[in-house]
Chain A
């Protein structure tokens, strides 16, 4: 833990939402262009969230707000651990806790739309968790440590060694970013069968907090992606990570939504095929 990493962690807490919001803005713009639309301004996500804070907040139960705060708290902890150069596995655990609290937020209402959303979110968590755990394991086998700082200072060839794990991670990144074909738990389009899924009964400032939480999450996921390439130096690693990150937008726009059963099976197959095989052959490369 050096001053540099302390500064990075502090920057994550303060600037994380700004970067995450920008990523979301660019995402929406890219999507629009792919669909031959003009699209909103890059800063639109910020306008949206600021407006949400202005609105009245309605709740089904006051516990909802507590769960939303817990969701945000653990999300920030997860990012702080990551950007402090700390333990990737612990960061992952915190990320999981955060996800659980979002599910509880949705479960604590009595709207069936919200509940189906949360049940599906849980199914998705179960689908991506094994592959997500394999990422730190792969890093440990290559760099000999779970610590992000050690991994970033590793050997530039690590991305080649962990190619299978990277492919698996990109696959589940689609789920984590709630992109098609895996956006079953929350839909961006009001007219679809789930209304808004997870966030159906979250309004006003609570919804704004969930949005901010998701911005943090995107920055964390970008950080994970960055770690694969980090030993190449920031000049290479950051552009590559960004390109791969936005490649998810293309996936989003070219795929139809899958059913939950298919999603679980597909994710576990990918985790087995790419992740496990990669870990098994690692001693030989």
Chain B
């Protein structure tokens, strides 16, 4: 309990301290050691409750009322701050203050109602939330470490951007408070309060640079997340006044299962979908690209979007075996398919990463909607693998951008020869995202197996399988295309580029190792965190008893492949083959040492070959429109389906 209080309270205090730190140097030190403290704190919490059953913590009468009051006043403060931030809205953005007012009045209707439900256990830990704490603390901590140096460089590069670094790091730490709150709170209005803080933080961080584009994108993120917030608040109102299910506790909501819980669960799920940037709400995450890279890394890997899928996975037992559950899975499916295809079109590295994030979250939503033991297993592992690999990829792209001055994939040609370490970290991140034997593939394998046995209505499972099969193929395409660029021999001598700064490379190397290790140790993660979580759900009869163990033969083969991927390069490095180097075939007389040939009149001509972006096959705009329409219709159908 004290540890929980530490994890939620400490970052908030750090935020205050960082904001008022007198010198930049002191601030850096403070940020550095606080990030370390958070990482250690989360590890200690995970160790203290290692493999424990879900534990709920009650507080005394007085403290309970204090918490209720604190969450209410806190909520009002957040609403006031959000309203104040709306002073620069224009055009259609007038809807934002309206949404804030609507959401605040809804939540006040619940909170000020006569005798609202009593929350016996406001805090809890279980295997899943422990794993989330670890992801937030460790991955988030590393990103913060990376950000210290990055932000200094950022302001050296970006002219005309006001240096608001104290506020920047304060908001980042506030974000951690909110994230720890979300994964450890059983108190539903408390959850809502933390939820709104993440909305505010993401809005502030996206608009950080203060350019018009950044501000517009920030408002878009705010608007879409507020739609989710309004739905969340409506769910709470329902849970306060419903005659069948009057509770403010998350575990009671999940445990009551069936039709009574479906309505509030679906409303909260919409909030989850907005936060997890699923279609039709996905556009805010694409707009978030304008923010400095550590922000993107935070939003995409360990915070924000993971809060969305966290709540969806928590609610999975309610959705299991219901039609709204299948519709939820299909929303994820549509998103997965459409964004995987659209990613092929992208040349901007950060946009490729963004679309791939949305696609992977779609996969997790598919798993959550199905809600069997196996899919929960897959979903939780996906959350872990994705957090590590995506943080690595974003930070690598950030460093690359600072060194080569571009985030265009085509400009990364030959990075293996120009900056081997960055190329290596990028490659490992990509391998982690889509190739066997790395984590994502283990989860995908389980998804295939689990979807085969879905039988909510005939053909439902096959539909999900087909989506998975067709969505995986484009994934292969865009990642390999990018890897191909990295390993390509440069066409001419490239200018040398500098080294990656120390703190940045530390974060990169730790994440690279984590990508490898999480693949090797996934059975341990399963045993330590996932089994206690799913076992408890099975015991209480919320999800069917199922076997989530991986056959040892599969583990053996995966290990063999992983070993090969490690040993072959090692052998090669120890005993490099001695072959004659030449330059590539150009169908002409090569000019020595480059990809140029002697053309007519002896002129030197350089060849060029660009990647394929398949714009004639895939129309980004049309596909987005169709995806948004389909997912929007499915969302409405899901909400309507709960009433039936």
- B residues near A56, Cβ cutoff 8 Å: 580
Interface residue? B537 (CB, 8 A): no
Q: Report whether A134 and B483 are in contact in the complex, using a CB–CB cutoff of 8 Å.
A: no
The listed residue (B483, B551, B558, B582) touching A104 by CB distance below 8 A is B483
Given contacts A70-B568, A77-B557, A126-B476, is CB(A195)–CB(B587) below 8 Å? yes
Of B473, B572, B576, most buried by chain A (CB within 10 Å of CB) is B473
Residue-wise interface mask of A (102-118) relative to B, using a CB-CB cutoff of 8 A (1 in contact, 0 not): 01100111111111101
Interface residue? B487 (CB, 8 A): yes
- A residues near B480, Cβ cutoff 8 Å: 100, 103-104, 122, 125
Interface residue? B517 (CB, 8 A): no
Stretch at the interface among A89-97, A210-218, A235-243: A89-97
- B residues near A201, Cβ cutoff 8 Å: 584-585
Beta-carbon nearest neighbor of B427 in chain A: A104
The listed residue (B448, B449, B466) touching A279 by CB distance below 8 A is B466
Interface residue? A150 (CB, 8 A): no
The listed residue (A60, A63, A129) touching B584 by CB distance below 8 A is A60
Q: Report whether B474 and A112 are in contact in the complex, using a CB–CB cutoff of 8 Å.
A: no
Interface residue? B554 (CB, 8 A): yes
- A residues near B73, Cβ cutoff 8 Å: none
Q: Report whether A65 and B577 are in contact in the complex, using a CB–CB cutoff of 8 Å.
A: yes
Docked CA distance A76–B420 (Å): 29
- B residues near A87, Cβ cutoff 8 Å: 551, 553-554, 557
The listed residue (A66, A109, A115, A268) touching B470 by CB distance below 8 A is A268
Interface residue? B484 (CB, 8 A): yes
Interface residue? A162 (CB, 8 A): no
Interface residue? A58 (CB, 8 A): yes
Q: Report whether A114 and B585 are in contact in the complex, using a CB–CB cutoff of 8 Å.
A: yes
Docked CA distance A265–B470 (Å): 12
Q: Report whether A110 and B607 are in contact in the complex, using a CB–CB cutoff of 8 Å.
A: yes
Q: Report whether B487 and A114 are in contact in the complex, using a CB–CB cutoff of 8 Å.
A: no
Given contacts A1-B553, A90-B445, A283-B458, is CB(A77)–CB(B561) below 8 Å? yes
Given contacts A93-B445, A100-B480, is CB(A133)–CB(B581) below 8 Å? no
Q: A66-B568, A100-B476, A133-B468 are in contact. List 12 more A-B contacts (CB 8 A).
A: A69-B568, A70-B564, A111-B585, A122-B477, A122-B480, A122-B612, A129-B473, A130-B470, A200-B584, A200-B585, A271-B469, A279-B466
Interface residue? A59 (CB, 8 A): yes
What are some 26 contacts across the A-B interface (CB < 8 A)?
A57-B579, A58-B579, A59-B580, A60-B582, A69-B568, A77-B561, A81-B557, A90-B445, A90-B554, A93-B441, A97-B436, A100-B476, A110-B607, A111-B584, A112-B586, A115-B609, A118-B484, A119-B481, A122-B484, A122-B612, A125-B473, A137-B469, A201-B585, A264-B617, A271-B470, A279-B466
Which residues of B, 581-599, contact A by the 8 Å Cβ criterion?
A: 581-587, 595
Measured between C-beta atoms, what is the minimum distance from B392 to chain A in Å? 19
Q: Report whether B436 and A73 are in contact in the complex, using a CB–CB cutoff of 8 Å.
A: no
Docked CA distance A73–B474 (Å): 24
Q: Report whether B568 and A73 are in contact in the complex, using a CB–CB cutoff of 8 Å.
A: yes
Which residues of B, 526-568, contact A by the 8 Å Cβ criterion?
A: 551, 553-554, 557-558, 560-561, 564-565, 568
Interface residue? A14 (CB, 8 A): no
Beta-carbon nearest neighbor of A72 in chain B: B568
Using a Cβ–Cβ cut-off of 8 Å, how many residues does chain B contribute to the interface with A? 64
Docked CA distance A159–B132 (Å): 46
Given contacts A119-B611, A140-B452, A283-B458, is CB(A77)–CB(B585) below 8 Å? no
Q: Report whether B553 and A59 are in contact in the complex, using a CB–CB cutoff of 8 Å.
A: no
Docked CA distance A265–B618 (Å): 11
Please name the 5 residue pairs, one residue from A and one from B, whose CB atoms are nearest each other, closest first.
A111-B584, A107-B484, A93-B436, A129-B473, A110-B595
- A residues near B489, Cβ cutoff 8 Å: 60-61, 108-110
Which residues of A, 243-285, contact B by the 8 Å Cβ criterion?
A: 261, 264-265, 268, 271-272, 276, 279-280, 283
Interface residue? A229 (CB, 8 A): no
Q: Report whether A96 and B436 are in contact in the complex, using a CB–CB cutoff of 8 Å.
A: yes
Given contacts A74-B561, A112-B586, A280-B462, is CB(A62)–CB(B469) below 8 Å? no
The listed residue (B436, B576, B581) touching A90 by CB distance below 8 A is B436
Which residues of B, 89-139, contact A by the 8 Å Cβ criterion?
A: none
Interface residue? A83 (CB, 8 A): no
Docked CA distance A99–B132 (Å): 35
Measured between C-beta atoms, what is the minimum distance from B383 to chain A in Å? 21
- A residues near B490, Cβ cutoff 8 Å: 110
Q: Which residues of A are at the interface with B, using a C-beta cutoff of 8 A?
A: 1, 56-63, 65-67, 69-70, 73-74, 77, 81, 86-87, 89-90, 93-94, 96-97, 100, 103-104, 107-116, 118-119, 122-123, 125-127, 129-130, 133-134, 136-137, 140-141, 146, 195, 200-201, 204, 206, 261, 264-265, 268, 271-272, 276, 279-280, 283
- A residues near B469, Cβ cutoff 8 Å: 129-130, 133-134, 137, 271
Docked CA distance A279–B467 (Å): 13
Q: Report whether A113 and B568 are in contact in the complex, using a CB–CB cutoff of 8 Å.
A: no
Q: Report whether A62 and B568 are in contact in the complex, using a CB–CB cutoff of 8 Å.
A: no
Given contacts A77-B564, A126-B476, is CB(A104)–CB(B470) below 8 Å? no
- A residues near B579, Cβ cutoff 8 Å: 57-59, 62, 65, 204, 206
Measured between C-beta atoms, what is the minimum distance from B459 to chain A in Å? 5
The listed residue (A58, A129, A137) touching B472 by CB distance below 8 A is A129
Beta-carbon nearest neighbor of B558 in chain A: A90
Which residues of B, 1-21, contact A by the 8 Å Cβ criterion?
A: none
Docked CA distance A74–B568 (Å): 11
Docked CA distance A264–B611 (Å): 17
Measured between C-beta atoms, what is the minimum distance from B279 to chain A in Å? 21
Docked CA distance A201–B583 (Å): 9
Beta-carbon nearest neighbor of B344 in chain A: A126
Beta-carbon nearest neighbor of B436 in chain A: A93
Docked CA distance A116–B607 (Å): 12
Q: Report whether B557 and A112 are in contact in the complex, using a CB–CB cutoff of 8 Å.
A: no
Q: Report whether A86 and B568 are in contact in the complex, using a CB–CB cutoff of 8 Å.
A: no
- B residues near A94, Cβ cutoff 8 Å: 436, 557, 561
Beta-carbon nearest neighbor of B481 in chain A: A122
Measured between C-beta atoms, what is the minimum distance from B575 to chain A in Å? 11
Measured between C-beta atoms, what is the minimum distance from B224 to chain A in Å? 31
Which residues of B, 605-638, contact A by the 8 Å Cβ criterion?
A: 607-609, 611-612, 614, 616-617
Measured between C-beta atoms, what is the minimum distance from B436 to chain A in Å? 4
Docked CA distance A112–B581 (Å): 18
Q: Report whether A261 and B616 are in contact in the complex, using a CB–CB cutoff of 8 Å.
A: yes
Given contacts A62-B579, A94-B436, is CB(A276)–CB(B572) below 8 Å? no
Docked CA distance A58–B581 (Å): 6
Given contacts A110-B491, A140-B452, is CB(A103)–CB(B484) below 8 Å? yes
Q: Report whether A58 and B445 are in contact in the complex, using a CB–CB cutoff of 8 Å.
A: no
Interface residue? B393 (CB, 8 A): no
Q: Report whether A126 and B484 are in contact in the complex, using a CB–CB cutoff of 8 Å.
A: no
Docked CA distance A109–B489 (Å): 5
Beta-carbon nearest neighbor of A140 in chain B: B452
Docked CA distance A125–B474 (Å): 9
Given contacts A104-B483, A107-B484, A137-B465, is CB(A97)–CB(B581) below 8 Å? no
Which residues of B, 459-510, contact A by the 8 Å Cβ criterion?
A: 459, 462, 465-466, 468-470, 472-474, 476-477, 480-481, 483-485, 487-491
Measured between C-beta atoms, what is the minimum distance from B370 to chain A in Å? 16
The listed residue (B445, B474, B595, B607) touching A126 by CB distance below 8 A is B474
Beta-carbon nearest neighbor of B607 in chain A: A112
- B residues near A283, Cβ cutoff 8 Å: 458
Docked CA distance A265–B582 (Å): 38
Interface residue? B569 (CB, 8 A): yes
- B residues near A134, Cβ cutoff 8 Å: 465-466, 469
Given contacts A69-B568, A110-B595, A123-B612, is CB(A77)–CB(B470) below 8 Å? no
Docked CA distance A91–B365 (Å): 27
Measured between C-beta atoms, what is the minimum distance from A115 to chain B in Å? 4
Measured between C-beta atoms, what is the minimum distance from A140 to chain B in Å? 6
Of A56, A107, A268, A271, most buried by chain B (CB within 10 Å of CB) is A107
Docked CA distance A206–B577 (Å): 11
Q: Report whether B452 and A109 are in contact in the complex, using a CB–CB cutoff of 8 Å.
A: no
